[in-house]
Amino acid sequence: MTLPLSVSGQQFIAGRRVASGEATLPSLRAADGELTGYHFYPASREEAAAAAVAAEQAFPVYSQTSPDVRAHFLDTLANELDLLGEDFFTIAHQETALPLPRLQGERSRTSNQLRLFAGVLRRGDAFGVRIDTALPERKPLSRPDLRQYLTALGPVAVFGASNFPLAFSTAGGDTASALAAGCPVVVKAHPGHMATAELTAQAIVRAVAASGLPAGVFNMIFGTDIGAELVRHPAIQAVGFTGSLRGGKALWQLAQQRPQPIPVFAEMSAINPLIILPQAVAARAETLAHELVSSFTLGCGQFCTKPGLILALRGEGMSRFTQALKDAVGQVPAQVMLNAPTLAHYEEGVSAFEAHPNIQRLAGSDERVIGRAQARLYRAPASLLLAQDPLLQHEVFGPLAVLVEVADEGELQSILHAIPGQLTATVHAESDDGPLAQRLLPALSEKAGRVVFNGYPTGVEVCDAMVHGGPWPATTDSRGTSVGTQSIDRFLRPVCLQNVPAALLPPAVQDDNPLNLLRLINGQWTREAISPSVD
Amino acid sequence: MTLPLSVSGQQFIAGRRVASGEATLPSLRAADGELTGYHFYPASREEAAAAAVAAEQAFPVYSQTSPDVRAHFLDTLANELDLLGEDFFTIAHQETALPLPRLQGERSRTSNQLRLFAGVLRRGDAFGVRIDTALPERKPLSRPDLRQYLTALGPVAVFGASNFPLAFSTAGGDTASALAAGCPVVVKAHPGHMATAELTAQAIVRAVAASGLPAGVFNMIFGTDIGAELVRHPAIQAVGFTGSLRGGKALWQLAQQRPQPIPVFAEMSAINPLIILPQAVAARAETLAHELVSSFTLGCGQFCTKPGLILALRGEGMSRFTQALKDAVGQVPAQVMLNAPTLAHYEEGVSAFEAHPNIQRLAGSDERVIGRAQARLYRAPASLLLAQDPLLQHEVFGPLAVLVEVADEGELQSILHAIPGQLTATVHAESDDGPLAQRLLPALSEKAGRVVFNGYPTGVEVCDAMVHGGPWPATTDSRGTSVGTQSIDRFLRPVCLQNVPAALLPPAVQDDNPLNLLRLINGQWTREAISPSVD
């Protein structure tokens, strides 16, 4: 049989394709688990190490490239992604069961994300320049000339996510922000969409070559357990991950156990509480129920920001709201999930809910459709949340949500205190709910990276202001975001140059400001050059 | 005997003084180990927990205070510190053996550091505001209104350092930056200067009260092993520490083992390599030797930035340089260290150097002066550094340095690759050394938080541009600094508000920009207000 795509299944190491052993990893169709026809070579430990070393060897050159060079590279890569054609979407659809329009939208999101980082580099935000010029006459001690800027952390290991085969995978947000920061990347391809990953990697390799950059700027390996080797390798200086709490925590622990520990930016688990205040329930019970069910079953509930916990304040309209939720869930057809393990995990989650003595199923058919996930809605008492029942602490990935009726504001505040950190928290309020909403805002901001009003958390805008992060276990580092331009900060660290001669200064901190950066100079933000001292 | 100072030795918990058990912790004179007369109560586990809870209870109010309120509080605290009189300096000198002029300078540094953070709050840098306004007509999807700002992380545990009883202790840099960020603080007083800590804490308590803030904004406990209780307490959300690698790593590991891990910003161990290029050796052998010995024996070598490793490139002048180093070390008198354990650690370090078969003592008297540290200079072959000999990996706290003669640039680059992360790296160069210096700069920036030219790393300016940080083991997080205004970032995290009604927005992200902040609005940095949308 001749396969339509040029997919070798080998590792990408410094522009070369490398493999040993047998191609034992099959690419599977999400819909039925059958072979797509493509097979991949699991990377050996030596190949994982070679990929890390390739990134390390590219680092001295790549980290010192000008922002213009990196911006041009990211634009070139974006254009390469935009050229991916029908073949690409066909295999991506086969591997993930995600609908074609969704995949096409995700491709645009991914290439636009790269262009956004190109814009950040041209805008110059990412340099964080702060200069305090010398004060030779200061008493009792003179002040030296001090120039701070942000520099690339080092080679970054990126773990592709199952649920966004483009936007959070090979050329996704972690890769884009690391490359923008000046860090070479080693991607560990997700086993759920390896052919998609390979075609994307081929596009990156073309962009690296067209930009005249060292080939080791981008590397990718295949495998199931090989990620640990990457995280342990001394050349790797940071890790980006989007996936499960278990997976993220394991990588994070490995990184701490290294002789030189490194940061792991893992986006892991959130139940994304959605709070409905009394007037909103009363005024919009049916609309809310309809929209909410659409949100938590969208894409089969396979979003990090799926609202999995509905906290509705008791009052007029609650029974209409509950009935409308049940009706809406009843209308949701069974859906194919990303892959068989994901469906199995979802079914485990459902079984745990079914078996819990204090949790009641409100909606969701008993009928089992082989290979598909049925949406489920459960009801739990507030006391279970307050008792930090383990089943309600972490996300069930899939079209499942839990409704909790909350007695009053006091109970709501106690619940917000009891639940763990979140990516998002949402409030639905009418104008009469305003004072209560205002009192809730600080607690919500303390618990989540993003607070949404009268909307739904699914749909994460890629822009300057986005925060896709939050306190543990939503992420390993609440001070970062994995979506939006601020995500570049994860892969940068400050360096201060003291009394370095003008001829040796990098452009970002030179007196005449050749990059036209906004800089903090002697306590003032300015794009002005530094005038020569007159003493 | 009546003691001159009002020192109760009890814990500071939410403005109250609390103690149980016996005051078994004596304050000791550094010079002779005798009692100063003051005794302190080791905090019980319950008291440590109460201090953490007090900070947690103050958090909702304190974290929401306006920057003006916090700036005024920091200024008030700075003024309180400036009022500390002769009694304070007398006891600080007794407890640490640091000379009075040094302590007076450190007090100015500490109060000016608080004023600098007040300035940062008034300047508004610390809000990091990024706004992307709604695009309701955008196709295919509308864009919501998104407003990002930085918010306080939560209560911070601060561990006082031995070597800076003011600037890195009770009211030091970690406390100042946490308070500026809006985080209440629990200080664990260093056992080496408890009376100094108590008088400083009393000043803070007066400033908290005068500013009308919740008393739990500041708390302090005494004890030796009680710090672990603080780090484990669920109310604590971050840790600041300056001290040994062993101590910092232990706290960092505890923090990772919590059900909800938290960041630990520990500044730990650096040998601060100082590189002397061939022309500099030839041109300035004697001057360099004299200045360098002054730097590594300054304050008995008890600085985090002490240059402990001298890498001199072989060439003309090397023998003059070595002889001048030996002569200068011979002139350094034995000095009293901060306390008896510090002296004991130093003597252990010296013994290890003496016992090493491949390390040779170049200078430093055999004469033992009881209770005092003798400066020592050793010579080690480059091969030991390249082999990552453990003795040359981490700092010996005290007046000791190691000279390594380096054959050529290749060997120097290999050494820079082999040594661990550093707070500082220094280069001495003459103009003919320029091209070599330029080639070294990227490697030095990769290894250290601050790169110094033709100077000495001791002396850390407190300003916007300073970086007192660096890759592991210099610190636990190379992306932070513990000196300078950028240090506030350690205690802040971003939050994004999506479609939050104008009436509920915090001032930093309101349309009319009442705090006059420089904000990133739709991709442009501006202090302009956001004009009402016209659609």
How large is the average pLDDT for residues B87-93? 97
How large is the average pLDDT for residues B296-321? 95
**% of chain B beyond a pLDDT of 90:** 94
Helix (H, G, I), strand (E, B) or coil at A92: helix
pLDDT band at A1 (very low <50, low <70, confident <90, very high): low
Q: Please determine, for residue B535, whether its predicted confidence score (pLDDT) is greater than 50.
A: no
Distances (CA, A) of B121 to A199, B65, B66, B460: 49, 11, 9, 22
Q: Please determine, for residue B489, whether its predicted confidence score (pLDDT) is greater than 90.
A: yes
Please provide the average confidence, as pLDDT, over all residues in chain A: 96
How large is the average pLDDT for residues B12-40? 96
- The residue of A479, A487, A490 whose CB has the most chain B CBs within 10 angstroms, and thus the best one to mutate to test that interface, is A479
How large is the average pLDDT for residues B374-399? 96
Q: What is the DSSP string of A359-388?
A: -EEEE--S---TTEEPPEEEE--HHHHHTT
> From edge to edge, which strands make up the β-sheet containing B218-221?
B16-18, B11-13, B218-221, B185-188, B156-159, B238-242, B264-267
How large is the average pLDDT for residues A353-358? 96
Rounded to a whole number of angstroms, the distance from the CA of B133 to the nearest CA of chain A is: 9
DSSP A205: H
Reply yes or no on whether B267 is catalytic.
Answer: yes
Determine the pLDDT at residue B1.
Answer: 56
Contact A154 B446 (CB under 8 A): yes
Contact A472 B123 (CB under 8 A): no
Identify the residue whose tokens are 């007695």.
A407
Determine the pLDDT at residue A531.
Answer: 87
Determine the pLDDT at residue B86.
Answer: 94
- The residue of B145, B417, B495 whose CB has the most chain A CBs within 10 angstroms, and thus the best one to mutate to test that interface, is B495
By C-alpha distance, the chain A residue nearest B483 is A496
Determine the pLDDT at residue A206.
Answer: 98
CA A149 – CA A507 distance, rounded (Å): 10
How large is the average pLDDT for residues A245-258? 96
Contact B143 A486 (CB under 8 A): no
**% of chain B beyond a pLDDT of 70:** 99
* Among A125, A434, A465, beta carbon nearest to B132: A465
B523 interaction partners in chain A (CB closer than 8 Å): 119, 123, 464
Return left, alpha or beta for B372; rule: phi > 0 is left, psi -120 to 50 is alpha, else beta: beta
- The residue of A495, A500, A524, A527 whose CB has the most chain B CBs within 10 angstroms, and thus the best one to mutate to test that interface, is A495
Catalytic residue among B304, B395, B405, B411: B304
How large is the average pLDDT for residues B86-96? 96
pLDDT band at A535 (very low <50, low <70, confident <90, very high): very low
B123 interaction partners in chain A (CB closer than 8 Å): 523
Please provide the average confidence, as pLDDT, over all residues in chain B: 96
Alpha helices in B263-332 (DSSP H): 278-297, 318-330
Helix (H, G, I), strand (E, B) or coil at B360: strand
pLDDT band at B20 (very low <50, low <70, confident <90, very high): very high
Q: Please determine, for residue A533, whether its predicted confidence score (pLDDT) is greater than 80.
A: no
Determine the pLDDT at residue B533.
Answer: 60
Helix (H, G, I), strand (E, B) or coil at A393: coil
Contact B496 A450 (CB under 8 A): yes
How large is the average pLDDT for residues B26-51? 97
Would the CA dihedral through A76, A77, A80, A85 be positive or negative? negative
* Among B130, B498, B504, beta carbon nearest to A464: B130
How large is the average pLDDT for residues A129-142? 94
CA B458 – CA B395 distance, rounded (Å): 14
Rounded to a whole number of angstroms, the distance from the CA of A7 to the nearest CA of chain B is: 33
Determine the pLDDT at residue B2.
Answer: 72
Q: Identify the CA nearest to B92 among candidates B208, B205, B196.
A: B196
Q: Identify the CA nearest to B80 among candidates B190, B208, B182.
A: B208
Catalytic residue among A198, A267, A405, A411: A267
How large is the average pLDDT for residues A220-243? 97
Catalytic residue among B47, B267, B405, B411: B267
How large is the average pLDDT for residues A248-259? 96
How large is the average pLDDT for residues A266-276? 96
Q: Please determine, for residue A534, whether its predicted confidence score (pLDDT) is greater than 60.
A: no
Instruction: Name every residue whose Cβ is closer than 8 Å to that of residue A387 and which is 6 or more positions away in sequence.
Output: none
Catalytic residue among A304, A395, A405, A411: A304
Read off the pLDDT of residues B131-153 as tens digits, 9 standing for 90 and up. 999 999 998 889 999 999 999 99
How large is the average pLDDT for residues B463-484? 97
Distances (CA, A) of B382 to B280, B309, B318, B416: 20, 11, 15, 11
Determine the pLDDT at residue A497.
Answer: 98
Contact B132 A461 (CB under 8 A): yes
Residue type, A330: G
Reply yes or no on whether B198 is catalytic.
Answer: no
How large is the average pLDDT for residues B16-29? 96
Could you tell me how many helices (H) and strands (E) chain A has, helices first?
14, 23
Q: Please determine, for residue A183, whether its predicted confidence score (pLDDT) is greater than 90.
A: yes
Contact A465 B146 (CB under 8 A): yes
* Among A445, A476, A497, beta carbon nearest to B151: A445
Instruction: Name every residue whose Cβ is closer than 8 Å to that of residue A186 and which is 6 or more positions away in sequence.
Output: A51, A52, A54, A55, A155, A156, A157, A158, A219, A220, A221, A230, A236
* Beta strand spans in A2-80 (E): 11-13, 16-18, 25-28, 35-40
Rounded to a whole number of angstroms, the distance from the CA of A467 to the nearest CA of chain B is: 6
CA A48 – CA A230 distance, rounded (Å): 6
How large is the average pLDDT for residues A464-483? 97
CA A385 – CA A371 distance, rounded (Å): 32
How large is the average pLDDT for residues B519-524? 96
* Among A452, A473, A479, beta carbon nearest to B498: A452
Read off the pLDDT of residues A371-393 as tens digits, 9 standing for 90 and up. 899 999 999 999 999 999 999 99
First to last CA, chain B: 80
Q: Which residues pair with A525 in a beta bridge?
A: A520
Read off the pLDDT of residues A490-515 as tens digits, 9 standing for 90 and up. 999 999 999 999 999 999 999 999 99
Q: Please determine, for residue B125, whether its predicted confidence score (pLDDT) is greater than 90.
A: no
Bigger pLDDT: B420 vs A125: B420
Identify the residue whose tokens are 């308590």.
B205
Contact A465 B140 (CB under 8 A): no
Neighbours of B225 (CB within 10 A): 7
* Among B261, B438, B481, beta carbon nearest to A472: B261
Determine the pLDDT at residue A129.
Answer: 97
> 3-state secondary structure string, A65-87?
CCHHHHHHHHHHHHHHHHCCCHH
Q: What is the DSSP string of B117-178?
A: HHHHHHHTGGG--EEE--BTT-SSS-B--EEEEEEE---EEEE--SS-TTTTSTTSHHHHHH
Read off the pLDDT of residues A43-88 as tens digits, 9 standing for 90 and up. 999 999 999 999 999 999 999 999 999 999 999 999 999 999 999 9
